[in-house]
Amino acid sequence: MPVVLSRTGPVRSETIALKGLDPAQQYSLLYSIRELHAVGPDSRIVIELRQGPALLSSKTLHAGDPDYYFQFRVAHAGDAVFDVHASGARGTYQLQVNRWPLSPLVKSSPSHRWQDAIQIPLGQTIFAAGDDAEYIPLPGTPRGAVVNDPAGVDWYKFEFSAPAPKLVFFQLD
């Protein structure tokens, strides 16, 4: 797995360029606050990954959820930007972006709209993580907002052209 970018630094608002991304590849991104005590009850770190106007992924980090790991793909060759908007947080972060072979067997963002549904092959196991959904919601967030948050929904699609019906089994763990 080739490293595209690896850095640490003080938690602050900044924009980090991810250069030369390729749609024939898949990428993973980890942004993690290294000192948990540096994220207080009112701290918020909003992170967004964009390629042009397209939002590929986003999450708000806080004391109950101080890191974010996700896989993503880009629609076209070129650069992307990783925006960090920090408020009330101290400490240092670790950021690592790795390049992987593009795989229909591993969930990658964007995937929260039906237009971005991931094509999956029948008869194969699909691996996915759900760190884009809030593990511990922001304080004061109503339960309904958590349940109805699009970040908790992933869209998949598959082709079925056999003449006889088949049983499909979905297991979410």
Nearest Cα to 110, choosing from 169, 52, 32, 158? 52
How far is the C-alpha of 31 from the C-alpha of 94, rounded, in Å? 6
pLDDT of residue 47 exceeding 90, the answer is yes
Q: What's the distance, Cα to Cα, between the start and end of the chain in Å? A: 26
In CATH terms, 3-157 corresponds, of 2.60.120.380, 2.50.20.10, 3.40.50.10320, 3.40.50.970, to: 2.60.120.380
Q: Where are the domains of the chain?
A: 3-157
Three-class secondary structure of residue 163 per DSSP: coil
pLDDT of residue 116 exceeding 60, the answer is yes
pLDDT at 108: 75
pLDDT of residue 132 exceeding 60, the answer is yes
